[in-house]
Amino acid sequence: MFTKIIALATAVAASLSMASQAEAAALPVVNMEAVLKAAQIDPRRPDTALTPGSKDSVLAVERALAAKGLLDDQFVDGHFGTSTISAYAAYQRSLDYTGIDASGLPGPTSLRSLGDARYTVDHVVTAGAKITYHGGLMNARTKAMLVAAEGLLGRNLTVSQGSYNPGGDPTSAGTHDGGGVLDISVDGMTAATRTTVARNLRVVGFAAWVRTPSQGDWPFHIHAVALADPDQSTQAQHQSGDYYLGFNGLANHAADDGPVVTPKQTWEEFQRG
């Protein structure tokens, strides 16, 4: 009798597991990489165009926000614009997130929480732990990107300002408040070398520009923003979007003055080749 009870319990558990798997398979799948890309680009567009490859994932997120009363139905359109950013930030605040964690840029935990029983999440992007590398504070994802760029260059780089630096250099205008942002020293580099460094940073997934004294109150340096870093400050998000759209990431919104690299890709896309 005991053996039969065990067998019955095992069969019931297996049946419930299969039902749970079937239910999960029936849910839409949100590609986090696609959502992050749209959340960076769409708020910087002058229109409501959609970021290629992101529509279905963004729609699933917007429908979940609308179901919670955070987003008006008219904005459930696949465009992760300012209204969706604001709605997502409100959702993050409902989870008691504050500061950078409530910027409206989806992170893996909030994205999964929002999708409970509504969608599943794949292509998850995580920033990783905060660490110090070359004297600069950054997250594990940013370090991996920098190491890869150094490998392509065949040289080490010097970090003059790292990430997670609120209240730091005022000329940075908040870009370094969150994750994924570095300033690279170019002391002793020729103009050609500076360009080569910026190009290789772009290859591995940074939006990178050589900054000059004529552009602001700063010395020559390279400013690099890790595309799709989920810890970015709002200002860094805007710079990422501007990079994708062909601008220089500065307040003057001028044309991109950096080396041309195509395609413009994230760290995850670079790793996939």
pLDDT digits (tens, 9 = 90+) for 193-207: 999 999 999 999 999
Q: What is the pLDDT of residue 237?
A: 97
140-151 pLDDT per residue, tens: 999 999 999 999
Report the pLDDT averaged over residues 105-113: 98
238-272 pLDDT per residue, tens: 999 999 999 999 999 999 999 999 999 999 999 99
Instruction: Characterise 107 by phi-psi region: left (phi > 0), alpha (psi -120 to 50), beta (else).
Output: beta
Q: In the 8-state DSSP scheme, what is residue 168?
A: S
Report the pLDDT averaged over residues 52-75: 98
Distance CA 184, CA 15 (A): 56
8-25 pLDDT per residue, tens: 444 444 444 444 444 456
* Longest CA pairwise span in the chain (Å): 86
Distance of CA 32 to the CA centre of its chain: 9
pTM: 0.89
Confirm if 268 and 123 have CB atoms less than 8 A apart: yes
- Tell me: pLDDT of 118 over 70: yes
For 29-62, the DSSP string reads EEEHHHHHHHHHHGGGSSS-PPPTT-HHHHHHHH
- Tell me: pLDDT of 5 over 90: no
